């Protein structure tokens, strides 16, 4: 008698496996870090802002840098599975597909959050940032914003990996859909840094975005993973 | 460039884009029909 | 090609000819904007058709995810592609109208930005479908379409919020504010003409897609025959 692995079991095991493999090779986190750092440097030379301007544009710069780094992480999400044909094995197993999706999304979430924790002090130093608003909201914005990118990104990465242009397609389909979330993250961060207006409405928008798209991703993942 | 020129340009753009698209569709249709005929011969 | 289609196509073109005549010669010249305002008679109907096409695509995509019907998928792709064509027209004629009237080519307000994002989402849909391998394109595209449909209202509201916090000089009132009766006629004729033309073009693209699907099937059948013959030999 075969027993289908439970949702929680698959979740725990997949995240554990991904984190262990990443810890051993540190492929993703290294390339993400380096890429993010390069983006910071390039932007510094492009803009060279005063303290005033720094606070106004830092939100945009930080999130652009995190977005590009997240794409690096997202692209390799499924590559590993594809290489070892683990994806096909998973499809024929009775394990619930959503557990795989959530595991991958949470794994990515952990990677990108680690990156953000490492990059945030660097950003603060390079742009001499000081939050004039309520700095305690920044972690909230970071979590909501990162999840918005990661949840759709993990889903779209699963789609784009099955096309002829693979990694190239991911940003093409992810960025347009993510625009309102990006707008919200950037504005919320700028609001906290400059203290000029309240970030609350943006945080609410991010929450709505996260709820809507997490639901859609969970509803459609099974369909997409079993396509052909 | 006076304002009326912009208006004429806009109308021409619409005709050119739609006309071009329809021409492309026709070309695709002819090509595909031929390919289907060859395959089902 | 089916006679019904040819009839519809001829009717659509005739109607467009008549409505264009109405727009260019019969409708009176607008007091404030002058002749340039006549772009409105093409621009707004095209925007309406683009929106209609994208709505059809959403419905067809949702239906396809429930019942995997090839004809429904053909309709989904057709309406998406034609929608992008009309949306492109909107994004070109819009700035051509804005520049002489308001002095700017573009502004990042809610309506324009949402139109542009809509174009980006559906362009990415077409790219996804083009490069998907095997029969997956239909399912993957349908999924992306659902995402896109959910996203558009969020895009619109996010930029509305952005513009209340960072206001810009407001562009003079909506195009439909107080249309004079003869202008309304010209507008409605063009709305009708473009709707019918749009439906005809979607129909045309649908027919092309059906042939494309038949070719795919024929290729598969040929490959199967070859491998069976090779195996038997």
Chains touching C (at least 3 CB pairs under 8 A) are A, B
In this structure, is residue C100 part of a structural domain?
yes
CATH code: domain of residue C28: 1.20.120
Take residue A212 and report the two structure tokens written for it.
């809507």
C-alpha distance from residue A148 to each of A178, A184, C9, C147 (Å) = 8, 10, 45, 13
Residues (pLDDT < 50) of chain C are: 173
CA distance C131 to A159: 11
CB contact under 8 Å between C133 and A162, yes or no, is: yes
The pair phi, psi for residue B24, each rounded to 5°, is -60, -40
In this structure, is residue C21 part of a structural domain?
yes
CB contact under 8 Å between A184 and C165, yes or no, is: no
Per DSSP, what are the bridge partners of residue A70? none
Q: What pLDDT tens digit does each residue of chain B (41 aa) get?
A: 688 999 999 999 999 999 999 999 999 999 999 999 998 88
HSE-up of residue A89 (Cα within 13 Å, Cβ side):
6
Q: What pLDDT tens digit does each residue of chain A (228 aa) get?
A: 456 677 888 788 888 888 877 777 677 788 888 888 888 888 877 877 777 788 888 899 999 999 998 998 898 888 777 777 777 777 777 778 888 899 999 999 999 999 999 999 988 888 888 888 888 999 999 999 999 999 999 999 999 988 888 889 999 999 999 999 999 999 999 999 998 899 999 999 999 999 999 999 999 999 998 876
Closest C-chain CA to B7 = C36
In the prediction, which pLDDT does B23 show? 97
CB contact under 8 Å between C128 and A202, yes or no, is: no
In the prediction, which pLDDT does C176 show? 52
In the prediction, which pLDDT does C233 show? 57
- State how many domains chain C has: 1
Please check whether residue C26 is in contact with residue C186, taking contact to mean a CB–CB distance below 8 angstroms. yes
The pair phi, psi for residue C34, each rounded to 5°, is 80, -155
In this structure, is residue C208 part of a structural domain?
yes
The pair phi, psi for residue B33, each rounded to 5°, is -60, -45
All residues of chain B having their beta carbon less than 8 Å from the beta carbon of residue C101 are 3
Q: Under 8 Å CB-to-CB from C96, ≥6 apart: which residues?
A: B6, B7, B9, B10, B13, C39
In this structure, is residue C110 part of a structural domain?
yes
Q: What is the pLDDT of residues A87-144, one digit of tens each?
A: 777 777 777 888 889 999 999 999 999 999 999 998 888 888 888 888 899 999 999 9
CB atoms within 10 A of CB A203: 21
**Alpha-carbon gap: B21 to the closest alpha carbon of chain C (Å):** 8
In the prediction, which pLDDT does B1 show? 66
CA distance C176 to C48: 13
What pTM did the predictor assign?
0.92
CA distance A110 to A87: 21
In the prediction, which pLDDT does A128 show? 84
C-alpha distance from residue C219 to each of A17, A69, B11, C1 (Å) = 42, 41, 42, 23
Please check whether residue C74 is in contact with residue C56, taking contact to mean a CB–CB distance below 8 angstroms. no
If you write DSSP's letter for every residue of A70-129 in order, what string do you get? HHHHHHTTTHHHHHTTHHHHHHHSSS-HHHHHHHHHHHHHHHHHHHHHHHHHHHHHHTT-
Least CB–CB distance from B17: residue in C89, C97, C101: C89
CA distance C104 to C94: 11
In the prediction, which pLDDT does C199 show? 97
Tell how far CA C116 is from the center of its chain.
12
In the prediction, which pLDDT does C177 show? 61
Q: Is B36 on the interface with C (CB under 8 A)?
A: yes
The pair phi, psi for residue C177, each rounded to 5°, is -65, 115
To probe the interface with A, which of C132, C133, C134 has the most A CB atoms within 10 Å?
Answer: C132
Kind and range of the H or E run holding C198: helix C181-232
CA distance C25 to C121: 37
CA distance A148 to A65: 15
CB contact under 8 Å between A228 and C135, yes or no, is: yes
Q: What is the pLDDT of residues C56-105, one digit of tens each?
A: 999 999 999 999 999 999 999 999 999 999 999 999 999 999 999 888 99
Nearest CA among A94, A95, A102, A96 for reference residue A77: A102
Owning domain of residue C188: 3-226
Q: Is B32 on the interface with C (CB under 8 A)?
A: yes
Residue with tokens 């007091």: C31
Least CB–CB distance from C85: residue in B6, B21, B33: B21
| ipTM score | 0.94
CA distance B36 to C128: 25
In this structure, is residue C35 part of a structural domain?
yes
């Amino acid at each position: 008698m075969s027993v289908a692995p439970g949702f929680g079991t698959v979740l725990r095991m997949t995240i554990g496996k991904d984190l262990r493999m990443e810890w051993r090779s540190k492929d993703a986190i290294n390339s993400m870090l380096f890429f993010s750092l390069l983006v910071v440097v390039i932007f510094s030379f492009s803009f060279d802002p005063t303290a005033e301007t720094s606070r106004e544009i830092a939100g945009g710069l930080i999130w652009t840098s995190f977005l590009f780094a997240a794409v690096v992480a997202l692209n390799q999400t499924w590559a590993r599975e594809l290489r070892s044909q683990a994806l096909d094995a998973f499809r024929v197993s009775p394990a619930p597909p959503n557990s795989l999706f959530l595991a991958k999304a949470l794994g990515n979430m952990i990677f990108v959050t680690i990156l953000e924790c490492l990059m945030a002090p660097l950003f603060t130093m390079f742009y001499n940032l000081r939050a004039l608003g309520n700095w305690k909201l920044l972690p909230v914005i970071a979590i909501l914003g990162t999840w918005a990118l990661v949840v759709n990104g993990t889903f779209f990465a699963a789609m784009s990996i099955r096309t002829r242009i693979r990694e190239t397609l991911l940003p093409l389909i992810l960025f347009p859909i993510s625009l309102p979330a990006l707008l919200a993250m950037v504005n919320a961060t700028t609001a906290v840094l400059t203290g000029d207006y309240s970030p609350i409405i943006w945080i609410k928008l991010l929450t709505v975005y996260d709820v809507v798209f997490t639901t859609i991703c969970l509803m459609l993942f099974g369909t997409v993973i079993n396509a052909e | 460039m006076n304002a009326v020129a912009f208006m004429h340009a806009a109308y021409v753009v619409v005709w050119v884009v739609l006309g071009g698209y329809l021409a492309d569709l026709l070309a695709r249709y002819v090509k595909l029909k031929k390919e289907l005929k060859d395959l089902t011969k | 090609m089916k006679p019904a289609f040819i009839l519809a196509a001829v009717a659509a073109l005739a109607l467009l000819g008549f409505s264009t005549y109405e727009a260019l010669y019969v409708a009176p010249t607008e007091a404030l904007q002058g002749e340039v305002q006549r772009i409105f008679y093409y621009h707004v109907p095209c925007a309406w058709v683009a929106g209609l096409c994208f709505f059809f695509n959403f419905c067809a995509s949702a239906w396809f995810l429930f019942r995997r019907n090839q004809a429904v998928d053909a309709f989904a792709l057709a309406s998406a592609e034609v929608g992008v064509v009309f949306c492109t027209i909107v994004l070109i004629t819009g700035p051509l109208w804005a520049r002489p009237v308001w002095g700017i080519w573009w502004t990042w307000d809610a309506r324009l930005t949402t139109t542009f994002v809509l174009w980006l989402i559906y362009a990415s849909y077409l790219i996804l479908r083009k490069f998907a391998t095997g029969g997956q394109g239909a399912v993957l595209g349908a999924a992306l379409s659902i995402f896109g449909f959910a996203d558009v209202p969020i895009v619109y509201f996010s930029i509305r919020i952005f513009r209340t916090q960072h206001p810009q000089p407001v562009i003079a009132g909506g195009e439909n504010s107080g249309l004079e009766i003869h202008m309304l006629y010209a507008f409605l004729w063009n709305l009708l003409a473009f709707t019918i033309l749009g439906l005809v073009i979607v129909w045309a693209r649908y027919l092309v897609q059906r042939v494309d699907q038949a070719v795919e099937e024929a290729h598969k059948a040929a490959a199967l025959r070859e491998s069976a013959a090779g195996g038997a030999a």
